Each structure stands twice: as structure tokens, then as C-alpha cells.
A and B are shown apart, each in its own frame.
Chain A
């Protein structure tokens, strides 16, 4: 079974530039997540989709971050304009079921590493 695919793996941009990350979840997975992981910390949820609807985006800095999940499959996370503190790993994850489900296992991609200089 193919895992969660993310691209690009690495990106270096200057502050105030824009960047976009792409995620292809595991086939058939209804729920898709974007997490931000700053070095030395645990992942923090940015946004959660169920199919193509947003469930939780309470921690997404909406003045500069946006995300969409067209047709309930692939998703794109965009940052514009980037700040130095956005340097982090952006992890995409997916799970099979629509909430709530006590046995949900969430599968993560390898992450997209962003450095803002």
C-alpha cells in the first residue's frame, strides 16, 4: 500500500516569498491533516479536512497560511508571505475513517522541510 506522499521534500526561500506544499493521502482515506513541526517540538495541527470540508483550522495563521483539498483527495498548503518563524517541517497525514472513530490510525508522510532565510 502506498503511503502519504509529499512534495517538495526540501525548500529554502527568502522571507516574504511564497511557497506551496502538496500532499497525496493514502487512497480512500477520508481525513487529511496538515501539521507543523518546529525543530525540537512535537507536531502542531494546522488544519484538518474530512473529504473536502474543513473540520478544524483553529490554529492556522489565516493571514498568511491557506490550504485546500480539491475533490476530497490531494491537498495543497500555501504560505504567503513567509516569515522566519515559519521554518519547520510540514507534515501531511491521513486516516481512513470519518470522525469519530476510536480506532483511527493516522499515517504520516515524510514531511516537507522549509527553511526561511
Chain B
């Protein structure tokens, strides 16, 4: 079953704008991870945030986690055409190290 649900399903912006994607989940987690998938390619790990962390940065990426609301957001600042991809949130449950993925957000960045 898929735990994470991303919102929006699709997002279209211009280069230089910021892109925000949200993820909601249902059960308690160990950590939450964001992945990028370019068309026809595998998944690339972007960032991991642990359940006891609230915010994390990596380059142009900023991730927040609110465990009380069971939600996370991924912010990409100053977007580029190369950021065009699908973005997935994935939760790692407390028991095993199993990642459960959402359905993803398709991001289109136009030049």
C-alpha cells in the first residue's frame, strides 16, 4: 500500500520560480525521504529527514517535517529546466527499513 500522498499531482512553473510539493502520510515513521525521477530513469535520492528533525537544507532544496500533522514539504528554490522530473516522498516505518512511496508530483519547469 502507498502511504505518502503528494500534492499537487502536477506542477508547472517558470525558471527562477520556487516549487513547493507537499506530502502527507498516515502512520508513524522513522524518517522521510524525497526522491527525484527523470523520465525513463531510476530514482535519485535527494534528502532524508529524521522523525526528530523539523527542517533540513541541501543546496536549493529545503525540506520540512511536521510529525504532529504527518506532513512534509519539499521546496526547490530558483528552479531550473533541469529540475523537470517527478518527485516522490517515501516514508521509512519504525519497524523495518522499508520505504513506502507516494504517487509523486510531476514538476515541469519551463525556460
Contacts and interface: CB of A to CB of B under 8 A. Distances in A.
Given A100-B95, A104-B97, A42 B103 contact: yes
Contact of B45 (A31, A33, A44, A107): A107
A64 to B, nearest CB: 20
Interface in B69-111: 88, 90, 92, 94-104
Interface residues of A, number: 30
A91 B35 CA distance: 14
Interface of A: 4, 31, 33, 35, 40-45, 48, 55-56, 91, 93, 95, 97, 99-111
Interface of B: 2, 4, 30-31, 33, 35, 41-45, 48, 50-51, 88, 90, 92, 94-104
B42 A104 contact: no
Contacts of B103: 40-42
Main secondary structure of the interface of A (DSSP, over half): loop
A89 to B, nearest CB: 8
25 contacts: A4-B42, A40-B103, A43-B43, A43-B88, A43-B101, A55-B98, A56-B96, A91-B42, A91-B43, A99-B97, A100-B94, A100-B95, A101-B97, A102-B30, A102-B31, A102-B92, A103-B50, A104-B97, A107-B45, A108-B35, A108-B42, A108-B43, A108-B44, A109-B42, A111-B41
